[in-house]
Structure 1
């Protein structure tokens, strides 16, 4: 078999298995949403049937391919699912957001809450709500849980029901990182050498925001990853030199619809970026309508179908409910009753500046996570151990793309300008393929409030990716390799910090193990829920917070009871302190009476 034939089969396997993972995510949350609309609750039946349906469809779509290709595609998809779930289960979300409203939402959905028909506080106050009423007491988390899009929470609750571990539910980011690697590699392997395609696919998957948040329920990195998947899929529509496999005509619409469904229901800003991307690519196709008529109809049709499913079905518990109850589908970030979540975290020096200058200063500054953060420009490619240590946090505010990223972006822009000058005339037929993703990202920087904060522009690595593809197809292999190393080094530094934090947490022992052990030894665990009881001095906001503590405690085989802080402190003395980790987060164990 020739090398070209091998590369083509690798491309087919990679593209098909990557698309299958995206479709799986969309199918799972869509099917669970249908159950909710019909008055039911998240069910493990849907969770078990969804991968079976997607894998069967994958086998069918590849029906004309050799058996070896079909087997390989199914095996890779299964391996990606298993790896993502195992990694998520063995790691602990130590973030504030993850252990407050994210896990509260996942826990409520797993326990039977139907967000289409009841606010979480109403359900928590019912007989089915159990201890969740106490969890929500004196906290505004119910606002976010009711209003925000719920794709990650539906995904997480589905997995948590099957595995019994709430940590397994955060597998979505790693799963989509693998999907992006596979989709990008599969597409690019038909346009360049296989090793170049694999390298650029790895750079895409190692998006620094996704690497930062991969062990958590944070969803910014996931959004950036799915945006990049959308860029690849849209590029296949406008690339005049791409020779798609025979099965792609059937798979492409499903892949695009699935991407829209997921992207719009990860975050509100996901809907914005999906709209910007779709409109930018559609506008270009319409410029040459006669030549692109079929592509225009394909993109418009899939966009409308994806939007309808995203907003009316999966979005029934957020967009549609917000529209009915508040008169605004994007409540509480826009319109009446808006909650301002940016001003408090905005650097004083940004006041009065335009969005582009804010964004540029943030990218080129030393990382800062103070409140408010400080934006100080730095020499590119320089950093200190203290700056790198800030990336143990999951949403660094200034310079949050990594300690090397400002320099990487400068190099990428300079190389991009050189390539544009050098090849624009001779490669005019393909120029739009490179410029459309950059144009969409630039519009997003201006349109999205807070784009200077990395979590709101998590797909910024697209600039480097476009330049890498241009370098690869122009056969500037040394430059392609050098830029890839720089981008990967930036992500690797962040990844090393996150892995180190997980190692520390594993050394200290998981909270659920500590609580279970204490329960066996003492009798009953009581965890404060009305207030965040942190006895560390000073309190560490990155410690495992009260929400994770409570939810893990509730998993201790019924030996846990949630109490308010006043109830806890009013109990007779004699309890013992169970230390969770080196940051000093403390859980109170009351002995020896049983839970009642």
Structure 2
């Protein structure tokens, strides 16, 4: 087994760790058993079984030694992901608000398949928690239950990034016949998708949408090129998980599966009857087992599997509140490119977006808390795209026959997946567009005469991502340090500090985790202007007790 093959195997095993840590607790939830630590043992059994089958059928490995080495390395990387995630507090708004709320509730016994939460049991987000897809929350809840550290539930982001990195480097060598250097450049471009790296320190799930999209497409391409059933199974598994990350990703997953199976039928690899059977089984597993809650439970309880989206997107994403003022009367394509070429910031009505001056410096502080609504792919990507797109089209037209048709097919699927979302201007909702950019880079790098310009453009994108990574991770640790000091000050004050714990139960859990009994504390008004704000506290305040 070469190093490239070993890393590929480990990348797939990291993906299978994710699969197992979701499937075992989800099966137990369906059987009306709340998430519990013992389910990690079941996850481990599922992981070992899937990994062994992959090794036997793909590599033809019967030696336990090679499997054992890969198992130990993947386990070590998984543990490192846990340690990294546990070292950072999520101080983002949505991450602390409803994502962390859901993880705590699942960890503490809530079973969404059998019980709907009331508004009072949540941080005013019961509609989200009761009716939204839950795969990332289930993973995080089991990890939190086993480790006792809820922040470690964010480990899935880094875990899937490493999986993408290792799979992509093998793909560059085995499928696209690139040199080792160009394969690793391709791999780092895929793994450093700005949406993924800006989600590293938070419970936001858009990075997982990005990772699972790439892994599903990669396994599908392996299936088409190499045949066999293992890669096709992995592709369908990745797309099944993708459909249960969030509602828009369900539409993406259906599109990808339809394109994958349709391609196999069109190329006469399989008969249409077999493709239809596979599609039906995939649909039943994806929406009837893995996604019983929310899809089937929403249908039973609310009359529609996509509730509350069935009431109209305005119920979930109100234009008048969430759009920049100058986006209100524009179509989805205009909004997308205005956002793509905007200065990075959050701009909500009545604020407006501003187009950036190309090839000029822009402030980076907007990326401190994750992915902003505008310019979500980073500060340099618009300039690179301006040069990459015409060059990529030129190379595309230079291709011949089957090679061109396949490239156009994949690029078209990604563009459709991007623009079927009317809110594609919020870049974290459409991380698959980054894969579109990377494929353009790949097409250029495959042509010897264009490798020089392609290399420069690839480095430009990597510098963009490295800048974002540095900005976000450094600030994440700064915010974590601030919050740790604040929590420690409150926890060791012996009643000398009074505070307002905020409206979010998820942040109140953080206060109780440091030993505070919220029933015995002295509260201050939420309007107290003399108090200090907790970092990432969603309005929580504290101050020293005033003496008479």
When normalised by structure 2's length, the TM-score is 0.88
Confirm whether residue 518 of structure 1 aligns to residue 464 of structure 2: no
Q: For the structure 1 residues 519 and 452, does the alpha-carbon distance in structure 2 shift closer, same or farther, using more than 3 Å as the test?
A: closer
SS of alignment partner, residue 461 of structure 1: helix
Q: Is the 8 A contact 1:398 1:452 kept in 2?
A: yes
Written as runs of structure 1 = structure 2, the 5 A alignment for 1:137-286 is: 140-190=124-174, 191-192=176-177, 193-238=179-224, 242-243=225-226, 249-286=228-265
Q: For the structure 1 residues 434 and 570, does the alpha-carbon distance in structure 2 shift closer, same or farther, using more than 3 Å as the test?
A: closer
**Structure-1 residue corresponding to 2:98:** 101
Offset of residue 251 of structure 1: 2.6
Q: Is the 8 A contact 1:253 1:302 kept in 2?
A: no
Confirm whether residue 463 of structure 1 aligns to residue 436 of structure 2: yes
* Matching residue within 498, 523, 529 for 2:472: 498
Measured in 2, the distance between the counterparts of 1:105 and 1:309 equals 23
Confirm whether residue 309 of structure 1 aligns to residue 309 of structure 2: no
Confirm whether residue 560 of structure 1 aligns to residue 517 of structure 2: yes
Quick check: 498-507 or 486-495, which moved more? 498-507
Query: 1:159-187: per-residue Cα shift (whole Å, max 9, x none)?
Result: 11111111101111111111111222222
Q: Is the 8 A contact 1:402 1:491 kept in 2?
A: yes
* Matching residue within 346, 353, 361 for 2:330: 353
SS of alignment partner, residue 213 of structure 1: coil
Query: 1:317-343: per-residue Cα shift (whole Å, max 9, x none)?
Result: 211111111111111122379614140
Confirm whether residue 473 of structure 1 aligns to residue 451 of structure 2: no
Q: Is the 8 A contact 2:90 2:203 kept in 1?
A: yes
Query: 1:225-268: per-residue Cα shift (whole Å, max 9, x none)?
Result: 21122221222234xxx447xxxx35324312321221011111
Q: Is the 8 A contact 1:11 1:187 kept in 2?
A: no
Quick check: 166-175 or 15-24, which moved more? 15-24
* Matching residue within 17, 31, 34 for 2:10: 17
Measured in 2, the distance between the counterparts of 1:213 and 1:516 equals 26
* Matching residue within 38, 47, 50 for 2:43: 50
Q: Is the 8 A contact 1:382 1:404 kept in 2?
A: no
Measured in 2, the distance between the counterparts of 1:85 and 1:95 equals 19
Confirm whether residue 410 of structure 1 aligns to residue 386 of structure 2: yes
Q: For the structure 1 residues 59 and 165, does the alpha-carbon distance in structure 2 shift closer, same or farther, using more than 3 Å as the test?
A: same
Offset of residue 491 of structure 1: 1.1
Q: Is the 8 A contact 1:419 1:470 kept in 2?
A: yes
Written as runs of structure 1 = structure 2, the 5 A alignment for 1:531-542 is: 532=503
Q: For the structure 1 residues 442 and 36, does the alpha-carbon distance in structure 2 shift closer, same or farther, using more than 3 Å as the test?
A: same
Q: Is the 8 A contact 1:223 1:458 kept in 2?
A: yes
Measured in 2, the distance between the counterparts of 1:327 and 1:334 equals 9
Q: For the structure 1 residues 140 and 430, does the alpha-carbon distance in structure 2 shift closer, same or farther, using more than 3 Å as the test?
A: same
SS of alignment partner, residue 344 of structure 2: coil
Structure 2 unaligned spans of 5+ = none
Structure 1 unaligned spans of 5+ = 1-5, 123-132, 533-545, 592-596
Measured in 1, the distance between the counterparts of 2:261 and 2:222 equals 13
Offset of residue 556 of structure 1: 2.9
SS of alignment partner, residue 113 of structure 1: coil
Confirm whether residue 363 of structure 1 aligns to residue 340 of structure 2: yes
Q: For the structure 1 residues 47 and 589, does the alpha-carbon distance in structure 2 shift closer, same or farther, using more than 3 Å as the test?
A: farther
* Matching residue within 397, 404, 409 for 2:373: 397
Q: For the structure 1 residues 524 and 232, does the alpha-carbon distance in structure 2 shift closer, same or farther, using more than 3 Å as the test?
A: farther
Measured in 2, the distance between the counterparts of 1:491 and 1:322 equals 38
Offset of residue 280 of structure 1: 2.7
Measured in 1, the distance between the counterparts of 2:38 and 2:29 equals 13
SS of alignment partner, residue 424 of structure 2: coil
Q: Is the 8 A contact 1:366 1:383 kept in 2?
A: no
Q: Is the 8 A contact 1:263 1:274 kept in 2?
A: yes
Query: 1:65-114: per-residue Cα shift (whole Å, max 9, x none)?
Result: 36665344323322331121111000110111111111111101101011
Q: For the structure 1 residues 160 and 117, does the alpha-carbon distance in structure 2 shift closer, same or farther, using more than 3 Å as the test?
A: same
Q: For the structure 1 residues 22 and 351, does the alpha-carbon distance in structure 2 shift closer, same or farther, using more than 3 Å as the test?
A: same
Offset of residue 44 of structure 1: 1.4
Offset of residue 579 of structure 1: 6.2
Q: For the structure 1 residues 199 and 67, does the alpha-carbon distance in structure 2 shift closer, same or farther, using more than 3 Å as the test?
A: farther
Q: For the structure 1 residues 287 and 264, does the alpha-carbon distance in structure 2 shift closer, same or farther, using more than 3 Å as the test?
A: same
Count of aligned pairs between the two proteins: 535
Q: For the structure 1 residues 174 and 299, does the alpha-carbon distance in structure 2 shift closer, same or farther, using more than 3 Å as the test?
A: farther
Q: For the structure 1 residues 509 and 338, does the alpha-carbon distance in structure 2 shift closer, same or farther, using more than 3 Å as the test?
A: closer
Offset of residue 361 of structure 1: 2.1
Query: 1:559-583: per-residue Cα shift (whole Å, max 9, x none)?
Result: 422699xx83499x9xx97764499
Query: 1:440-474: per-residue Cα shift (whole Å, max 9, x none)?
Result: 12212331120111121112111221122223332
**Structure-2 residue corresponding to 1:27:** 20
Q: For the structure 1 residues 577 and 161, does the alpha-carbon distance in structure 2 shift closer, same or farther, using more than 3 Å as the test?
A: farther
When normalised by structure 1's length, the TM-score is 0.82
Offset of residue 405 of structure 1: 1.4
* Matching residue within 504, 509, 512 for 1:551: 509
Q: For the structure 1 residues 354 and 514, does the alpha-carbon distance in structure 2 shift closer, same or farther, using more than 3 Å as the test?
A: closer
**Structure-2 residue corresponding to 1:541:** none
Q: For the structure 1 residues 364 and 75, does the alpha-carbon distance in structure 2 shift closer, same or farther, using more than 3 Å as the test?
A: same
Offset of residue 142 of structure 1: 0.9
Q: For the structure 1 residues 563 and 292, does the alpha-carbon distance in structure 2 shift closer, same or farther, using more than 3 Å as the test?
A: farther
Query: 1:338-386: per-residue Cα shift (whole Å, max 9, x none)?
Result: 614140222333333322222122212222312135333334332322x
Offset of residue 548 of structure 1: 4.3
